[in-house]
Amino acid sequence: MHHTTLILIELGAIFLGLGLLGRLAARVGMSPVPLYLLGGLALGAGGFVPLVGLGEFGHIASEIGVVLLLLMLGLEYTARELVTGLKGSWQAGVVDLVLNFTPGAALALILGWGAPGALVLGGVTYISSSGIVAKVLTDLGRLGNRETPVVLTILVLEDLAMAVYLPILTAGLAGLSLWGGLRTVAVALLAVTAVLLMALRFGPQISRLVHSPDRENFLLKLIGAALLVAGLASTLQVSAAVGAFLLGIAISGSTAHSAAKLLEPLRDLFAALFFVLFGLSTDPHSIPPVLGLAVGLALVTSATKVATGAWAARHAGIGVPGRLRAGAALIARGEFSIVIAGLAIASGAVHGQLAALATAYVMLLAVLGPVATRFVEPLGRPFLRGRKVPPARK
């Protein structure tokens, strides 16, 4: 069979399967991410029907998926919102980082995976899934709750931390010297600072340059700018994902809203393909040996996320039920944990079991997070008996 024919057949089967899995996830009220990963495991090496024809196309499609994920993430925030959030809630960000990065990093060191493994697994356990959290809060009608701004602020701080973390990860995985690593991080920090300042000062002008009333022209400029900036960022040894994220921040106002609406179907398409291809790269037979570790790590980091949300909500003067809701909402891990693991696996600098552990871990918490968020509220009610809820701090 001709190679192009094989690719078309395999891609057609994947996209059709993704559609069916997404429909199943919507019916049971869960995120499709774990089902996409399961689909990839079923079709990869060691799976039921191994796919062998995607090759280089699959790799490029995965890269585009990561770029679009981070671009859309950047479009959700303005530079002013990020700066304001950092000033007002940096303590919650520090608590979040310490409590949730440490378990993953410690486990990697205990398993003998070294500093690169600790850097990767710490990032996997640190960052919550913005997409899953936002969807669950919307579905449950909690966007107007008093604790929701606390949850969203923590997510913003995590997303901002990604702009610093990813260059550090890239340097660590590349095995750069201390000087080379510091130079890479310094370039990334300068880039982040410069983009934030440019966005604050010239945001409307940048938005007007990208915007177009013609959808085709608008889409071409957005995709072209995103890929160009991502490529230039990689040239400077700064993660391509960071470049896309910074471009998203620089676009603001109605242009950002229109861009997000226009890019959403493409983002979903390539992101879904990214999750499947990550599953394809993981041998399902490698998961059972690390399943116990994944369950233990999921339980520990669920507790630390609940503690993070509860601390931040308490600091905002919110009562016990709201604290528990805030903590439970942050449990879910998803797209960015897999992005981090994917970058690590592609570099070849980490232990082979890390992909299996990350896959099992994300699948567990992508399911557990929404379930905990949905059912945690009754647990907080006994704390209200005979107690007054303190007023929110101004």
Best CA proximity match to 153, nearest among 248, 256, 84: 84
Is 391 part of any domain?
Answer: no
pLDDT means per 10 residues in the chain (394 residues)? 75 86 82 82 68 68 82 76 66 92 95 90 92 79 84 83 79 69 73 73 82 90 89 74 80 85 86 80 84 96 96 90 93 86 80 86 89 74 46 39
Q: What angle do CA 216, 217, 218 make, to 5 degrees?
A: 90
Task: Tell me the residue range of the domain where 190 lies.
Answer: 3-380
Query: What pLDDT score was predicted for residue 85?
Result: 59
How many domains is the chain built from? 1
Does residue 394 belong to any structural domain of this protein? no
343-348: long-range contacts, CB 8 A cutoff, minimum separation 24: 343/166, 343/169, 343/170, 343/173, 343/239, 343/241, 344/116, 344/120, 344/169, 344/173, 345/278, 345/281, 347/173, 347/174
Q: Give the dihedral of Cα atoms 22, 55, 224, 270; nearest 10 deg.
A: 10
* 28's tokens: 């049971």
Query: Structure pTM?
Result: 0.76
Count other C-beta atoms under 10 Å from residue 25's C-beta: 17
Buried b (16+ CB within 10 A) or exposed e, 291-330: eebbeebbebbbebbbbbbbbbbbebebbbbbbbbbbbbb
**Residue at 201 is within a domain:** yes
CA distances to 96, 112, 391 from 385, in Å: 30, 48, 17
- 392 is a domain residue: no
Q: What angle do CA 130, 38, 290 make, to 5 degrees?
A: 90
CATH code of the domain in which 183 resides:
1.20.1530.20
**Residue 393 is assigned to a structural domain of this protein:** no
Q: Is residue 331 part of a domain?
A: yes
What pLDDT, on the 0 to 100 scale, is given for residue 180? 67
* Residue 385 in domain: no
pLDDT of residue 4: 76
Amino acid identity of 284?
A: P
Tell me the Ramachandran region of residue 201: left when phi exceeds 0, alpha when psi lies from -120 to 50, beta otherwise.
alpha
- Start-to-end CA distance of the chain, whole Å, equals 68
Judge whether 66 lies within some domain.
Answer: yes
